[in-house]
Structure formats: structure tokens, C-alpha cells
Amino acid sequence: MYIAYRLYRLTCISQLNLKDAHMDMTTDRNPSQYEKKENGLIVNAPAKINLSLLISGKRDDGFHGIETVMAKIAWYDQIIIDHSDKSGVELICKGAHWAPQDDSNLVIRAARAIEDFCNIKLALKITLVKNIPAGTGLGSASSDCAATLLGINKLCKLDISKSDIMDIASTLGSDIPFFIGSNLAYCAGRGEIITEIDVKFPFVCLLILPDVSISTAMVYKNYRHDESQYSKLSKIIHPIIEKKNVDLVAKMCTNMLTESCCQLSDEMAQLYSSIKKLGMNRLCLSGSGSALYMLFDNSEKELARQCQKILSDHTGCKSILVNNSLW
């Protein structure tokens, strides 16, 4: 196999140094979801990847029906919530990536939704530390929203039940309820119908981050449904999911939005093709893109590192190695 040959060749030459753009964030430790601080609370908001993504067709409400298995990964934005002397909710955005600092931000909308649900007026300063880029299919905005709902509920001791939090989340966005629950779930409908999958699925994820932002709306608009492809894949994947064989689902690398995503960006199409030509057939698209990933067993961590170096050598594309999130 070509990939095996490349790995052998790589061991025979000087090793490439990993720069900040090619990070190894794998660790035996997994941060907790909440971290206490003086006068406030830090909530870690994980990214996600889609282990499988089927499109069942366009619904009567104009949305596309999806059937997806999602897994949280140990790469986080942070929501820092502090009590404030001022009435209202103040949002400050920091970090490596831009995020809107106005009412369009789901963090602000989450806080307002809590106020409406509880019929209260909050006095909070919220700082969003944006580590995960938008437009990548990693769900960071949805995760930030979920973390804000959970964090305000915890810090302010509002005692809103999980089911009510899920209901609030579903009014704010399709992916948000997933981030309220466990680290692995099957999601259907628009993404808001959640069935948690209670199995352990440890992995190392080589996350490939092209310098391309892809509009989810444009990917779905550009998508052309293939009912026969959906039916064929559904008959294979659903029985596997029912048996909770998540590893087998992941190995199929099924995402029905891949073609649509690549059609919208020549850079994405070229990168996807280039990586495939390297023999890296574990390549998958997360969500509507632009992030790509490859999964490895924990025992294959060295192989994952080698693949990361090959990618660096041949594409120069930013990548990170991360574990699955434990919560």
C-alpha cells in the first residue's frame, strides 16, 4: 500500500518538526466540563465530528432531514461566566478566531432564552474564548450556546431540568441539543432528535483544518439528493447503529454532503483529492465542512502522528491531533 510505503520512507529520513499549525493535543487527561473561578464559572465547549452523515431528503418545512452519529472531541472553546454589578448580559469575544460580539451570537441568544424561560433579568459578564474556527463543520457555535445554557443554569443555581434545557436548546438551533447530553449520540430530524449511545468509543482524531470557511446553508442549497444512495447506505448503517457498533460506522466514512462541499470550493476539492492520493482512505468530512478528519484507535497514535507529518510535508495544511471527549 502506498501509505505503508510513505510511512516506511518517513522513518528513513529526518523527522519534520511539528509547528503550532500542526499540533498534538492528545493527552491521557481530559479536562472537566466545568472549572470554578472566583465570582464565576468556566465552561468548556467541545467541538464535534460526524462519524456518519446521511441525508434523508428535503422535509416539508424546507430543512433537510439528517441521520448522523456525532462524537465530541477534546478541543474546546471556553465560556467564562462572571457575576456582574451591571444589569444585563455583556459579551466579550477573545481567542484565536473571530466571533460576532452582538445579538447574532448564540451565546447572547442563549442568555436571553434563559431570561425568558425563568422570567428573570441576569447580571452577567460572559467571555467567549474562541479556539475553534467557524465554518468548519465542527459545531463550535452550537457548542458555545449549549455551554452557556448549562453554565448559567449552574452558576445562577436556577435548577432548570435537563429536559427543559434541551427544549430551550432546540429552539435556538438544530445541533445544540446534542451538546447538552453525552459525548456520543445518534441525531435525526433536523438534528434535534437525540438518542444517546451508551458505549465507550476511545479514539485519536487527526483533524485537518483547511483555511476555508464553508457556509452550511450554501452546502445544503447546493446538495442534490440521491434517494437510491440514501436507501442503500441507510440499510447498511442503521442495523450497525442499533447494535451500537460505532467503530464500524466510523470506518465507513460516510458523509452525503462531501460532494456538495467540494463543489463549492476548488481548494477543498483539491485538498480532498490530494489526501486521497496519498493513500489515506480513512478521510472523512465533518458536517458540511470544511474540516476533514481521520480516526485512529488509541493503539495507533504513532501512526496518526506519522500521517500528520505526511500531510504537513505534502499539503502544508493545518492539522491537530485530539482525543475523544469523555463527556
Q: 162-172 and 106-118 are packed helices; what angle lies between their axes, rounded to 10 degrees?
A: 130
Closest C-alpha among 97, 72, 70, 76 to residue 241: 70
Q: Would strands 292-296 and 284-285 be described as parallel, antiparallel, or unpaired?
A: antiparallel
* Residue 268 φ then ψ, to 5°: -65, -45
Grid cell digits, residue 248: 464500524
User: Which residue's C-alpha cell is 451591571?
Assistant: 86
- Helices 140-155 and 106-118, interaxial angle, to 10°? 40
Task: Spot the catalytic one: 77, 125, 144, 175.
Answer: 175
Output Rg (C-alpha) for the chain, integer angstroms.
20
Residue with cell 448580559: 89
Neighbours of 37 (CB within 10 A): 11
Report the distance separating Cα 89 and Cα 277, nearest Å: 50
Question: Quick check: is 48 catalytic?
Answer: yes
- Report how far residue 233's alpha carbon sits from residue 253's, in angstroms, rounded to the nearest whole number: 11
Tell me if residue 191 falls in helix, strand or coil: coil
Active site residue 175: yes
Residue where the block lists cell 484507535: 297
DSSP labels, 24-56: E---S----SEEEETTEEEEEEEEEEEEEEEEE
CB atoms near residue 161 (< 10 Å): 9
DSSP secondary structure letter of residue 103: T
Catalytic residues: 48, 175
